[in-house]
Structures are given as C-alpha cells and as structure tokens.
Amino acid sequence: MILAAVSGGSDSKGLLLALHDAITLGGFSAFSLSACTVDHALRPESAEEARVVAAFCAEKGIPHTIRQWQGDKPVSGIQAAARAARYGLLADAAQGTGAICIVTAHTIDDQIETIAMRQSRSEPDAPGLAGMAAGVLVDRRAWVWRPFLHLCRAEIRAFLAARGEGWFDDPSNSNRRFERVRVRQELNGDGTSSADIRAAGRARIGSSERTALLLARHAQGFDGLVARVDPALFANMADTDSARAVLSIAAVVGGRHHLAGRETAARLATFLGDAEGGRMTAGRVVFDRRKSGLYLYREARDLPQIELQPGERGLWDGRFRVRNTGSDRISVRAGGETAELRARLIAAGLPEPVAKRAVKSAIGLFAMEGVSSHSDAAVPLLPTPCVQSHIDLYDTFLPCFDLMMANSIAALFGRDHYLTPPVHDVLTEKSG
C-alpha cells in the first residue's frame, strides 16, 4: 500500500489522482492506495478542508484518514515545527495502515525555492544545495517519496483543470512573513535549472559515498561514547569529504542536528594542523589529539536531566534514546561512570586518560523511589536494552542521498543499518 499525503491543494490533489489512475488504469494493480490529511489546526478552516478531502477520497473509493496536530503551537519557527509534526503524523498513519511508503507532492517549484533559501546561508559547495532528495526516511520508520519533483505546479494545475477538479489555496502560501513566500516572490520564475539540480544531487551522492568509505576505513567507535579518527583522515581537513567525515562524527558525539559552522570548522582545521596536538573543545565535543589518533567525546558539562514515567520514552542529551521499561519513575542524567565501563573502554584500545574523561558524560539511569532526582537516595540502575544511541543528524530525517554515509555512522555507534527503501524507480518514473 502507498499512503498519499493530501492537503487539498493543487499539488497533492494532482498526485492523488495520478496515483489513482496509475493503479486502477495504468497497470500498477499490485499496489493499493490510501490517503492521509494532516490538519495542523492553525486556521479555523482547516478541519472543514480535511473533511472535504475525506469526502473526495470516499467518492474515489480511496481509504482516507485525518491526523490532527494537537497541543500548543510555537510562537516562532512555526513552519519548521509544523513540518516536523506533519511528517511524524504521516509516519504514524503509514504504520497504522501498513503502507510501504508515503508519497508527497513536492514539485520543481518547491525544489528551486528550497535551494534558493539554502544558497543564502551556505557555502557554494554545501551538501544541502542538492535540494530535497527524491526520498527521505522519517523517524527511522517510514520512507517518504516525492515523485513530482520533476514537474512544475502549472503542469499539475493544467491536469486538474482538464478534469474539472478544483483545489484549496492555503493563505499562508502568500504570507510574506514566511521566508519561502518571500523567496518565491523574489525568484519570479528564475532559479536553479533542472540540470543543475540533478548535477548537484549526483555530487551529493558521490560525496556521501566517499565519506562513508572514509568513515569505514579510518574511524572507530567505543560504546557510543567515544570515536577515534586515524591521522590519515583528520590530517586532510582541506579535503571536503574528510572534513565532512570528522564533522559528522563530532555532530553525533555532541548530540547535534547539524554539522559545525564554517568558523568552528576552520578553527578545528587549524588545531588539527598544529603538530603539537593537545585538546580543543567545540560544539560540546572534546577533540583530544594524540599520536595514536584523534579522540572525540562529549565534554562533561551542561549535561541535562530528564525524568521518565513507566513506559515513557525520551531523548537524553541528543545522544541517547531511552525507554523506561520498568514499573517506577526514573531519572536519566550523567552518572553512568563505572570502573567496569572504564576498564572496557581501555581494553578496547582507548588511552586511559581518554577513557577516564569520556565516561564522565556517560548516561546513567536512576530509580526514583519517590524521591527527588537531586536526592542522594536515588538508586542507580543496571544498564538495560532500553538505551540506544541516537544519531541526530539522520534519525529524524535521512535523505536518500546520504543513506550509505548514515549506515557507516550507525555502525560506528553500535546501531543497525537504517531501513532500506522499499520503492525505487516505480514512483519516480511511472506516476503522474
């Protein structure tokens, strides 16, 4: 089953009809189709628009579900928050219906706008300038495909008009408060060409594959706490792929969603080019350079604390996913430092001083037993399988450009490979 994300706008309605035609008339009867509308609950009309989409799907015999974004909405960054909520709700719907993938109706117009926005704040060769990937893995559990990335909005609207179909226009699409709207109006039909976008995508894939090989050959992970990088890799920070490998490891060790900015990267390159070695801290990460390699571990400061009720899940320090599998409330904080852990890290090949420093930021689980988490009465728990390394770079959104690289990083941090894409050329080449 394929799950189509349908808002009622022209793009998503065109996608729904094109897929419906392909499955019922075009020889793709092995597939089935369902639809989901996410009601962000940001406008009074949104609930009624979702019901209209549901009625349209019912007319076509397409199973449909509505998912609503519940709870308080942020005052700033509303579009980014809505995007994250939308994809999470779509992934829930896909799992609930047994869909093999989700499809969205992003177009070449959306792609050009995305690249223009990134160009305004990126280096000329930044990976993000490849634009949106044709596929992205959401929350490590659902692949989203964008089969209309090669089409422009005008073509989709012509398709709908020829069939006598209308659509909704979201007023936020003309609100200059949002960056995308301002960029769209300023582009006025100009922007990166399709050929340039395809070339940038191929370059992004090539870089990711080369970086994946560098990571596999020259990096080693230790208990999700420490990574070691060979001198052959960190001595070549002028090479884009080598720098990307080191900065990617640093982002995971520091629990960060993005690679370090250009100023931090330049400072790190200067430090690594100094024959004296030593330690440097940046982005919550200690870069500990020794003759045997470069060791990266989380600095032991500003470490958070969270509490989890029985059955509750949480993210600690951007580095570890935790699920409380017990029957009591627990505190999650630094405090996993044990003689056994230090000994294990040293036995695995870490220099003793590195192991002693790194374990200070190790995750600890403590049974609350009805007392404050700051109390000395909190009881430490033994490590359990409910703790897993989190890779903030890719665990929420993984573009298919970077799948090979993400799998190399996952291996470094003791994680299984990411979910393999279930659909390849069928949607991108045949639908629409």
- Element housing 65 (H / E): strand 64-68
State the Cα angle at 184 between 180 and 186, rounded to 5°. 115
Between CA 420 and CA 428 the distance in angstroms is 17
Measure the CA–CA gap between 247 and 273, rounded to whole angstroms: 15
Residues whose CB falls within 8 Å of the CB of residue 285, separated by 6 or more in sequence, listed in order: 250, 253, 254, 296, 297, 298, 299
What does the alpha-carbon distance between residue 192 and residue 211 come to, in Å, rounded to a whole number? 26
Q: List phi, psi (to 5°) of 134.
A: -65, -25
Q: Establish how many alpha carbons lie within 13 A of residue 312's alpha carbon, considering only the half-sphere containing its beta carbon.
A: 13
Burial class (CB in 10 A: 0-12, 13-18, 19+), 176: exposed
CA atoms of 319 and 5, how far apart (whole Å): 31
Contact between 304 and 371 (Cβ < 8 Å): no
CA–CA separation, 231 and 291 (whole Å): 8
- Domain limits, the chain: 2-197+420-430, 207-299+395-404, 306-389
Which residue ranges of the chain lie beneath pLDDT 70? 120-129, 171-172, 174-181, 184-185, 188-191, 369-385, 423-432
Residues paired with residue 281 on neighbouring β-strands, in sequence order: 286
> In whole angstroms, what is the distance from residue 234 CA to residue 244 CA?
10
Rounded Cα–Cα distance for residues 300 and 288 (Å): 14
Highest CATH level, class, for 2-197+420-430: alpha beta
Question: Distance between CA 282 and CA 227 in Å, rounded?
Answer: 15
Strand (E) or helix (H) holding 425: helix 425-430
| Alpha carbon distance 1, 109 (integer Å) | 28
DSSP secondary-structure letter at 320?
Answer: E
- Classify residue 196 by its DSSP letter: H
pLDDT given at position 297: 98
Beta bridge partners of 293: 290
d(Cα 101, Cα 400) in Å, to the nearest integer?
13
Angle between helices 194-218 and 108-119 (to 10 degrees): 60
Task: Say if residues 319 and 390 touch (Cβ distance below 8 Å).
Answer: yes
Q: Cβ distance 398 to 417 under 8 Å?
A: no
What is the rounded CA–CA span in Å between residue 268 and residue 274?
10
Separation CA 158–CA 154 (nearest Å) = 6
* Listed residue (393, 392, 388) closest to 414, CA to CA: 388
